[in-house]
Structure 1
Amino acid sequence: MAVGDGAVSEDAWRLRIVGRADVPVGCAVLLPDSLVVTCAHVVVAACSGPEAGSASGRGTGPVAGDAIEDAATDARFAEILVDFPGSLLGGRMTASVVRGGWAPAVDDRAGDVAVLRLHGSPPPDVLPARLRWCGESHGRVVSAFAEPAGPGSGGWARAVLAGAGGLSPDWIQLDAGDPAGPRFVRGYSGAGVRDQTSGSVLGTMVAVRSTREQTTAWMNPTEALVRYCPVLRDIVEPEAPGPRTPADDSLLPSLAWQTEAERRLTTALVRVPSMRDTQRRDRIIGDIGPEIMPVVARSPSLIEDIRAVVAVCLQYPDAVDRLAAAVRWYENASLPMREFERVWAQVSAERR
């Protein structure tokens, strides 16, 4: 179907970052409101050359040093050229880093996120990606697309998420899923990591280590992107994709709910990213009040653990309000947090 007839590729959110020598230096993801997310080191490379955005021995990734710090300062205020490899209409456009959208790598590890905004509207056959929380990672099949040397030079590289690991505790390791297919190489940094089941983007490629025998890559999951650049928070769709998410309502009816309020609050709270993080959940429970933590029947099951917290809080006049305040400290006004507060407002009104 011709573009004029309304054809739109579901993966046309793939962007390329073009360097000064008119050579692609990395990838990016188009998001709603003409926002673009990529790696900070890719933006630096666009301003100063690929060597400024590559760490030796890793194939592609952030690198520290005085020269890079100077380049990073320039990149933050530069106009960056992007093109649209997924568009039949083609074309190029400039973009620049938005306020709150710059988190360069710290000590070659944490961060390495950049959020830009296009200086105009993308081609009409290019739609933004659905950015969703990564959530549980182990065993999930994903793919990422790049054309490192221009059109026809790459393709979709498939991988399996192996779990957290790499130079940064934020990173998730990707193991090659198709030895006969395209391999992750220099140029994949910033590429959107697409869930094979849902088509949603779960994060961005951040580093690759490639040898003749093995290729290993790493991604910054959406949770890390939002942590370093909160401007993305409202862009994230509230539910994680696929059957692995603990927020899936199909997992909830098997529980023996004591009250309808318990069910509704647990269903909303289990979608909040901070409550899915074990250490952060422990801190939140401790922040509710000294009388709460000792009486919560903790469970290794995420849903059962959150359900137990909700059940205890419902027994105290203001404990759910204190729970909401503790979670809000981490979440601010994220969409899942706003949904939990909406549900609590309804439940609270019905209990009066």
Structure 2
Amino acid sequence: MTTASWHVRISYGGQTLGAGFLVTDRHVLTCAHVVARADADAFRVTFAHGPTDVHGDGRDGIPARVVRHGGWSGRATDPGDLAVLELDRPVSVEPARFAAPSAAYGEPPRRLYVYGFPKRYDEGTLAEYRATADQLIAGEWVQLEAWTPHGQPLAPGFSGAAVTLADSGLVVGMVSAAAHSPEIRNGRMLPAQVMARYWPPLGELIPTPGHTRREKQQLREFVAAMSREEELECRPEGLYRDAVGALGPPLPAKGFRDLWDAAWYLLSEVPDSTAAARFAARLADFVEDARLRGALRSWPGRPRPGTRGPVAGASPWSPILVEIAPSGSGDDRFLVEVSVYAGGNRRLVGSRTLPVDGVQGYAQECVDEAYRDLTEDDRELIAFALPRRRLNTDVAHWRRSATDESPLGSFAPVVVLDLERRRSGALQHKLAQKWRLLDDRPVARMHRIGCGSVGQDPVRLTVGLRHGADMVGFGIPPRADGARKLFEASLNAAVPVLLWPRSACRGGPDHQDCPGARFLDRLAEQLAELPPSELPSRIHELRMQSYLPDAPQARWADDLALLWEDPRCLPEPTGYQHSPVR
């Protein structure tokens, strides 16, 4: 305490109003009620132990003005009792330093010092206190009680004073209220992490494990830039839930005032240091500016632990997963979530509920963003998880981007997944077992289902495929009822690979030489001697060949659809089951 020259007295018109403390070379913190009844531009700040060059004109103090107010409404129980004063010039005094949010509490209790300016103590005086508990009163204050029964009470003049640790002098909060009677030796402290809700730059000065001062400054600036938008589609409570997951800490009782309140709560109160990064990534989903969106998704700009743990098992692929699911808010609206698996971890790139005509553009945009997480050594795989009735959607022919009309399937390997099967624990278990067997086989066994097979029993097909096929080739698309039933039977058999033409014959008797049969013959020819793990790459090659002018024999592959699912490289996490839009 002997070196704490940053304690200040705040006065107006020659009268002492209360205490405060310097936190930057130009900013002083105090209570809003200390400066509430005076001209916001006419305060004087005097340093109790500062060198003579910081006292201003004579001993009258340095001129200061209020530049930030916490929103305090005037009653003792109103929140936001914080004001930030800006000095008219920088000073040479070293500002206060802050302790971590939990440092004020413990067993035995931590001794706390308070330096204030009550009546008849022009030079200031000390009071010794301790925090009753770490529980916030009304989500805002911590109760203080006297260290001894006969010490200095928190009388008028202590309001706005820093509460410091006796052994280190680090700040843990600010006195915001005292008992009305001097016989009752208690008061209230506004903890430092609560003050940072109302003045975001303060968060950079408070130690938070897992995040540097520069990282917190960047996130604060990103949130501030986004908060200037007139209308936001996201709510902080929804973003918070997605950041911490279903088993994470619950929401504060009063929710969040704004986006920064949620971001700072994650930084200062949530033990998982990766939660704030997930918050930033989800927030990016609602940003129109491409540079800001990219900055949020890459924050904090250094390698970070995975969002949902390591991928189970080795995989030659680094997939980009596009999940398109019914939103529950209407038949024409879908929840689109795009994730990237890189370095053994999964990261959510974006999540948004959209009408059907907005799905393709948003997916293109997020897929492009996802490539930023891949290295030059990663083998990309773009996987679309679709509702079963939409598995024939021609995603391989979606244009690659808004400025590139070339098909996505000619740019990278594209596969589809069945959303229903992906969410079935039993089928995912069977798929994992099937792949363990496939790893020991040089080639996969393909079961053919041609046009003439439409009338067979789906249940018998399911049971038979579980033991006798590694992949199923269809000569018909899953359009007509009979074909769809056989298609579902193959999915329920946990067959890892399904191939089919999106158009051509619709099925029926006497179709031995139809386009579907020729399609299956070409499949057998092209996929012979090929390990199943390399199917996406081979199909990608065939799709690219179908666009070459000197390879007309490959045009058949332009209509080829591939369902390929290996749970080891596309594990289903427990999170990401809801949108940040509430």
TM bracket, shorter-chain basis: 0.5 to 0.7
SS at match of 1:140: coil
Indicate the residue corresponding to 1:106 in structure 2.
Answer: 73
Distance 1:154 1:44 in 2: 22
Tell me if the contact between 2:281 and 2:298 (Cα under 8 Å) persists in the aligned partners: no
Alignment of 1:108-257 (within 5 A): 108=75, 109-122=78-91, 124=92, 126-135=93-102, 137-138=104-105, 139-149=109-119, 151=121, 154-163=124-133, 164=135, 168-234=138-204, 236-239=205-208, 247=209
Query: Do 1:133 and 1:221's aligned partners in 2 also have CA atoms closer than 8 Å?
Result: no
Unpaired segments ≥5 residues, structure 1: 1-7, 48-74, 240-246, 248-266, 273-280, 314-319
Gaps of 5+ in 2: 217-235, 251-265, 286-291, 307-340, 345-374, 376-582
1:176 offset after TM fit, Å? 0.5
2:44 to 75, 81, 86: 81
1:341 corresponds to = 300
**How big is the shift at 1:19?**
2.5
Cα RMSD of the aligned pairs, angstroms, is 4.3
C-alpha contact 2:103 2:172 (8 A) present in aligned 1: no
Residue type of the alignment partner of 1:198: S
- Which residue matches 1:19? 12
Are the equivalent residues in 2 in contact too, given 1:203–1:221 (CA < 8 A)?
yes
Greater CA radius of gyration, 1 or 2? 2
Alpha-carbon distance in structure 2 between the residues aligned to 1:152 and 1:17: 12
How far apart, CA to CA, are the structure 1 residues paired with 2:142 and 2:305?
Answer: 38
Q: Distance in 2 between matches of 1:134 and 1:327?
A: 25
1:325 pairs, out of 272, 278, 281, with 281
Distance in 2 (CA, whole Å) between partners of 1:176 and 1:88 is: 31
* Residue-by-residue CA offset, 1:258-297 (whole Å, 9 max, x unaligned): xxxxxxxxx559x98xxxxxxxx99656324xxx945x59
- 1:115 is displaced (CA, Å) by 0.6
| Cα offset, 1:156, TM superposition | 1.2
TM superposition shift of 1:221: 1.1
Whether the 8 Å contact between 2:31 and 2:81 is mirrored in structure 1 is yes
**Distance (whole Å) between structure 1 residues aligned to residue 284 and residue 3 of structure 2:** 34
Output the CA distance in 2 between the equivalents of 1:40 and 1:328. Answer: 34
Shift of 1:32: 1.4
Q: Structure 1 CA distance, aligned partners of 2:297 and 2:23?
A: 21
Report the Cα distance in structure 1 between the residues aligned to 2:199 and 2:112, rounded to whole angstroms.
Answer: 23
1:171-205 per-position Cα deviation (integer Å, ceiling 9, x unaligned): 11110013333221111000011122331112211
Instruction: State the Cα deviation string for residues 307-328 of structure 1 (Å, max 9, x = none).
Output: 6x96xx9xxxxxx964543589
Amino acid at match of 1:287: D
Residue 46 of structure 2 aligns with an amino acid whose one-letter code is D
- Letter of the 1:162 partner, please give it: T
Task: Tell me the amino acid that sits aligned with residue 85 of structure 1.
Answer: A
TM-score normalised to structure 2 length? 0.37
SS at the partner of 1:344?
coil
